[in-house]
């Protein structure tokens, strides 16, 4: 009678019990390096020994834990106060019978662009860094105000900062005043943009929608809320440190990605490039981004760190 065949090779150093420990350990210590994880493993299980390369292989193959760029969250984003505010906001929205995140909201925000915007990734030979020479001068920046909903892009407005006189006036030899200050987007610019957005909504029978914005000072000026309500719309401010609840963040990401696709030269005009990038955003893009932001509601109610 032939006996059962023995498995080839030596038995694995780490078993499912060790895998479960490592998964739980990295849930609590996401930035731990290999030797720290191994030390914790040795402290819990005194009868094992494993090389760092062997531990790395086990983490990837058995625990499904891969090395990624660390997403660093501001401390204020994970405080109990912030988590409470998010839960309160979602509860209030859920209890509002007129509020529909996916069908009755317009998402508004602004983002900055400059001529030297470039890709974050590149290619090079193995063992060599991928390096690109970039200008240390940012060049003229452009602020783009945007508004999207489930039907697509409602409106965008591009604005270059204007020169203003310095508080300390300095005269050139010819007697002219030197202008060495700049101003970006101010409340009056934002009000002008909001009026244009609401004009588009009026023309398309979308009166009564909620205008969703973060709590930046430019958005929370009392005159902003008064204007929106006077025009027959409603304000909906996001909880602090909650960019994932605003679908327009992904809109900016796609627009910047499209601007980066072709290298910008000093002779390029940034504004036309941004305009073309915005045109590539589709209705389905907007629907997907809104649904993705909506998917965080339950986690907010459960006060999870996001």
Mean pLDDT of 134-151: 77
User: Which of 55-64, 182-191, 235-244, 264-273 shows the lowest per-residue confidence on average (mean pLDDT)?
Assistant: 264-273
- Tell me whether residue 189 is in a domain: yes
93 or 177, which is more confident: 93
> Domain check: are 153 and 56 in the same one?
no
Mean pLDDT of 4-14: 64
Mean pLDDT of 187-194: 91
> Domain check: are 105 and 205 in the same one?
yes
| pLDDT > 90? residue 158 | no
Question: pLDDT at position 210, please?
Answer: 98
Question: pLDDT at position 282, please?
Answer: 96
The highest-confidence range among 68-77, 177-186, 283-292, by mean pLDDT, is: 283-292
Q: End-to-end CA distance of the chain: give it in Å, rounded.
A: 60
Q: Residue 118's pLDDT band (boundaries 50, 70, 90)?
A: low
Q: Cα separation of 97 and 111, whole Å? A: 32
> Domain check: are 253 and 104 in the same one?
yes
> Domain check: are 55 and 85 in the same one?
no
How would you class 11 by CB atoms within 10 Å of its CB: exposed for 0-12, middle for 13-18, buried for 19 or more? Answer: exposed
> Domain check: are 101 and 228 in the same one?
yes
* Six-digit token string for 228: 């929106």
> Domain check: are 54 and 197 in the same one?
no
Count of domains in the chain? 2
Neighbour count for residue 234 (Cβ, 10 Å) = 17
Q: What is the CATH number of the domain that holds 82?
A: 3.30.420.10
Q: How does the average pLDDT of the chain come out, rounded?
A: 83
- Tell me whether residue 127 is in a domain: no
- Tell me whether residue 306 is in a domain: no
Question: pLDDT at position 133, please?
Answer: 55
| pLDDT > 60? residue 175 | no
Percentage of residues in the chain with pLDDT exceeding 70? 76
Question: pLDDT at position 179, please?
Answer: 38
> Domain check: are 47 and 158 in the same one?
no
> Domain check: are 217 and 290 in the same one?
yes
Is the C-alpha dihedral spanning 92, 98, 103, 104 positive or negative? negative
282 or 113, which is more confident: 282
| pLDDT > 50? residue 88 | yes
Mean pLDDT of 113-140: 58
Structure pTM?
A: 0.71
User: Which of 12-21, 162-171, 245-254, 296-305 shows the lowest per-residue confidence on average (mean pLDDT)?
Assistant: 162-171
For residue 146, the enclosing domain spans 75-120+138-166+178-301
* Residue 156, beta-bridge partner list: 146
> CA dist 128 to 122, 124, 125, 259, Å?
11, 6, 6, 27
Mean pLDDT of 61-69: 88
Q: How many CA atoms lie within 13 A of 118 on its CB side?
A: 13
Is the C-alpha dihedral spanning 111, 237, 75, 289 positive or negative? negative
Neighbour count for residue 227 (Cβ, 10 Å) = 17
8 Å CB contact between 199 and 224: no
Q: Write phi, then psi, for 162 (nearest 5 degrees).
A: -100, 145
| Per-residue pLDDT reduced to its tens digit, 232-265 | 999 999 999 999 999 999 999 999 888 876 655 5
| Per-residue pLDDT reduced to its tens digit, 191-245 | 999 999 999 999 999 999 999 999 998 899 899 999 999 999 999 999 999 999 9
């Amino acid at each position: 009678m032939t006996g059962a065949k023995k498995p080839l090779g030596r038995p694995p150093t780490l078993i499912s019990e060790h895998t479960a420990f490592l998964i739980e350990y990295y849930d609590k210590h996401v930035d731990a390096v290999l030797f720290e994880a191994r030390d914790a493993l040795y402290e819990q299980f005194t009868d094992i020994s494993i090389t760092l390369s062997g531990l790395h292989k086990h983490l990837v193959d058995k625990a499904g834990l891969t090395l990624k760029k660390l997403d660093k969250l501001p401390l204020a984003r994970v405080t109990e106060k912030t988590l409470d505010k998010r839960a309160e906001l979602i509860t209030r929205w859920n209890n509002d019978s007129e509020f529909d995140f996916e069908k009755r909201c317009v998402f508004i925000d602004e983002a900055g662009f400059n001529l030297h915007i470039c890709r974050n990734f590149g290619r090079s030979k193995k063992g060599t860094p991928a390096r690109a020479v970039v200008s240390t001068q940012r060049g003229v920046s452009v602020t783009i105000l945007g508004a999207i909903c489930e039907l697509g892009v409602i409106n965008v407005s591009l604005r270059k900062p204007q020169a203003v006189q310095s508080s300390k006036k300095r005269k050139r030899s010819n007697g002219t005043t030197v202008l060495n200050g700049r101003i970006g987007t101010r409340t009056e610019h934002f009000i002008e943009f909001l009026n244009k957005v609401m004009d588009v909504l009026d023309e398309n029978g979308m009166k009564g929608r909620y205008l969703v914005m973060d709590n930046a000072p430019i958005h929370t000026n009392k005159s902003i809320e008064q204007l929106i309500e006077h025009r027959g719309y409603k304000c909906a401010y996001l909880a602090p440190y909650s960019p994932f609840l605003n679908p327009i963040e992904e809109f900016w990401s796609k627009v910047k990605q499209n601007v980066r696709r072709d290298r910008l030269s000093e002779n390029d005009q940034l504004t036309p490039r941004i305009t073309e990038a915005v045109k590539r955003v589709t209705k389905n893009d907007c629907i997907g981004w809104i649904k993705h932001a909506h998917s965080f509601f339950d986690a907010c109610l459960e006060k999870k760190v996001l």
